[in-house]
Amino acid sequence: MPRIVKNAILTCSWLLLAFSAGAQSKTLAATPPMGWNSWNHYAEKVNDATIRAQADAMVASGMRDAGYVYVNIDDTWEGTRDEKGVIHSNEKFPNMKALADYVHSKGLKLGIYSSPGAKTCAGFAGSLGHEEQDAQTYSEWDVDYLKYDLCSFGDEMAKAGSEEKAHQLMMDAYTKMHKALQKTGRPIVLSLCQYGVDSVWRWGESVGGNLWRTTGDIGDNYARMAGIGFSQAGLAKYAGPGHWNDPDMLEVGNGGMSLTEYRTHMSLWAILAAPLLAGNDLSKMTPETAQILTNRKVIAIDQDPAGIQGDRVRSEGPFEIWAKPLADGSKAVALFNREDTWMKSAMMEVNFRDLGFDGSVKVFDVWENKDLGVLEGMYKTEVPPHGVALLVVSAK
Ligand code: GLA
């Protein structure tokens, strides 16, 4: 073959490769990642059997069919490094590749956890100095998602000498892992976990994050969930396809909140286009919990292809109205009553003009699964304390 033709073919295949790599990184986390994570329910008690059981339950409960796909092992899977520095899982996870195969055989994906520091938050081996090696290992195990938790990297930052240098060090650490993951050629979602330090939403995308935690850890109680969720006002512009604000994993079904409060939790996360990572025991869900987690209309709001995060439109004391623009021109609208639970239900109203609609609109009540028909001007409804009315409003 003449050299010029050979060169042209080579150039073409490189271009194709580069193009598909680019396209791939664009489609990774095109909508907020959905799945399950071990930490909220199992913490350090997670093991191989737990993950298999949760993968089974993800399918049996209808969660997979509702869109939940990642099964994420959080902290405490890490064992020791061998003489070559390769990380091995500990006795709780005898064979990570076999576990990944099992999870994949269910039509699901596997996630794992590490830290840019020497130690993870629970004191297990982190990736400091072994970033490429670890990324390679995850890729050999066929891992699809990495949560990369700052933890003891704070020690490195403390040695930096100045806040600017510490910040740069942290950005470099995340970039390093992003590049290492890219180098494996396997599409692996990168979840930054550093609790929102240094306004991560401003730079998370630039270091390769597909999502970044914007807050400290959630707790299974209304005050903590609401404290985190409602503090997300103003962050909408930083989220979009491939890069999401992450106000932490779901607590729905863990028992510390009422069904009304869990509906509020789920509604707020959907309005925020937040990653939906369930954190309960999926094998023992009540039908009510399953109904909250798998409500197709709520999920559709979260997963809307336009990928626009919602924001607060209005607030008056404990009453807040949030809205999220959807791809078809309609808006998801949530009327939250943050009043304490000993208070009576409140009448809340939303003015359609505040939402950017002129004239009459069509309104659908999501949790009631009820078409409210064509309405003019405003809508008024009763919302219980700690509760929500979740609507989809569209031009007539
Ligand atoms: C931090 C993270 C949690 C969890 C634990 C594990 O606290 O924010 O989500 O990953 O570490 O040790």
pLDDT at residue number 322: 98
- Phi first, then psi: give them for residue 103, nearest 5 degrees: -60, -45
The answer to whether the beta carbons of residues 285 and 253 sit under 8 Å apart is yes
pLDDT at residue number 341: 86
Residue boundaries of the structural domains of the chain: 3-302, 311-395
Write the CA distances from 218 to 96, 185, 195, integer angstroms: 28, 33, 10
Domain 311-395 fold is Immunoglobulin-like (2.60.40)
Is the CATH number of domain 3-302 3.60.15.10? no
Q: Which of 332, 365, 291 is CA-nearest to residue 66? A: 291
Q: What is the rounded distance in angstroms from the CA atom of residue 9 to the CA atom of residue 14?
A: 9
Q: What is the rounded distance in angstroms from the CA atom of residue 96 to the CA atom of residue 112?
A: 10
Write the CA distances from 394 to 59, 63, 335, integer angstroms: 33, 28, 16
pLDDT at residue number 121: 98
Q: How far is the CA of 380 from the centre of ligand 1 (A)?
A: 41
Q: Which of 217, 220, 224, 248 for a ligand 1 pocket mutation test, highest count of atoms within 8 Å of Cβ?
A: 217
Q: What is the rounded distance in angstroms from the CA atom of residue 172 to the CA atom of residue 273?
A: 27
State the distance between the two ends of the chain, measured CA to CA, in whole angstroms.
64
Q: Which residues pair with 374 in a beta bridge?
A: 362
The answer to whether the beta carbons of residues 389 and 383 sit under 8 Å apart is yes
Q: Which of 47, 41, 70, 43 is CA-nearest to residue 58? A: 70
The DSSP line for 264-305 is: HHHHHHHHTT--EEE-S-GGG--HHHHHHHH-HHHHHHHT-T
75 lines ligand 1 (CB under 6 A): yes
Q: Which of 334, 290, 292, 291 is CA-nearest to residue 309? A: 334
Q: Kindly list the averaged pLDDT for each block of 10 residues, start to end, along the chain of length 396.
A: 49 42 64 98 98 98 98 98 98 98 98 98 98 98 98 97 97 98 98 98 98 98 98 98 98 98 98 99 98 98 98 97 98 98 94 95 98 98 98 96
Q: Which residue's CA is the closest to the ligand 1 atom numbered 4?
A: 39
48 lines ligand 1 (CB under 6 A): no
Write the CA distances from 316 to 123, 271, 325, 335, integer angstroms: 44, 19, 22, 11
pLDDT at residue number 21: 40
Contacts of 162 (CB under 8 A, 6+ apart): none
Q: Which of 39, 72, 192 for a ligand 1 pocket mutation test, highest count of atoms within 8 Å of Cβ?
A: 39
pTM to 2 decimal places = 0.93
Q: Are strands 244-246 and 211-213 parallel, antiparallel or unpaired?
A: parallel
Burial pattern 154-168, b for ≥16 Cβ within 10 A else e, equals eebbeeeeeeeebee
pLDDT at residue number 286: 98
Q: How far is the CA of 20 from the centre of ligand 1 (A)?
A: 34
pLDDT at residue number 363: 98
Residues of the chain by 3-state class (helix, strand, coil), percent to 5: 35, 25, 40
Q: How far is the CA of 251 from the centre of ligand 1 (A)?
A: 14
Q: Which three-class secondary structure state does DSSP give residue 373?
A: strand
pLDDT at residue number 26: 55
The residue assigned the tokens 């737990």 is: 50
